[in-house]
């Protein structure tokens, strides 16, 4: 039998992600980009508003590295430069993981590869960052529903 502690958070996430998929395209934001940020939120080691600064910092650092690579690549070009930027940004994202604020290295990679996938589209970049808040909203609503259900039992 499924428990309310599983069903209700799943329901909350499904509901809010469906609402996201209705609203995001209306704002010109690719729907998938919000799922990248939402995934980063749920993959991060901490949850709730307390972990948001680190999650945002990690995802945003990856976005920044991708935008830097895309823009410099457009100016300089060439396979050798692309390989250099791959090495440099990968090294920097991993090295930065030694700091407390940027320790969620997978978040940096999520921000980076999602930005590359979008070709640097700023609406997608905004969607990635908003997706972190979508994750928080899903988590918060799910916990609230579980709490309300438990208090009625």
Question: For residue 26, what pLDDT is reported?
Answer: 98
Whether the per-residue pLDDT at 150 is higher than 90: the answer is no
Q: How confident is the model at residue 56 (pLDDT cuts 50, 70, 90)?
A: very high
pTM: 0.92
Domain span at 9: 4-152
| pLDDT for the residue numbered 2 | 64
Other beta carbons less than 10 A from residue 62's beta carbon: 28
> Number of structural domains, the chain?
1
Please determine, for residue 99, whether its predicted confidence score (pLDDT) is greater than 90.
yes
Is the pLDDT confidence value at 85 over 90?
Answer: yes
Q: What is the pLDDT of residue 125?
A: 98
Q: Mind listing the pLDDT tens digit for each residue in 119-143?
A: 999 999 999 999 999 999 999 999 9
Integer angstrom CA distances of residue 118 from 59, 71, 100, 125: 15, 13, 28, 8
User: In whole angstroms, what is the distance from residue 111 CA to residue 10 CA?
Assistant: 24
pLDDT of residue 4: 59
Diameter of the chain measured on Cα atoms? 64
């Amino acid at each position: 039998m499924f428990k309310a502690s599983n069903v209700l958070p799943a329901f909350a996430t499904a509901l809010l992600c469906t609402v996201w998929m209705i609203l995001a395209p209306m704002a010109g934001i690719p729907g998938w980009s919000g799922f990248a940020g939402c995934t980063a939120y749920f993959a991060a080691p901490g949850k709730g508003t307390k972990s948001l600064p680190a999650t945002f910092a990690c995802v945003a650092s990856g976005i920044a590295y991708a935008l830097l690579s895309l823009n410099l690549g457009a100016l300089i070009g060439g396979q050798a430069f692309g390989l250099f930027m791959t090495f440099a940004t990968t090294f920097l994202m991993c090295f930065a993981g030694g700091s407390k604020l940027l320790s969620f290295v997978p978040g940096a990679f999520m921000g980076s590869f999602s930005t590359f996938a979008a070709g640097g589209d700023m609406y997608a970049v905004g969607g990635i960052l908003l997706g972190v808040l979508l994750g928080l909203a899903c988590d918060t609503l799910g916990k609230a529903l579980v709490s309300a259900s438990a208090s009625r039992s």
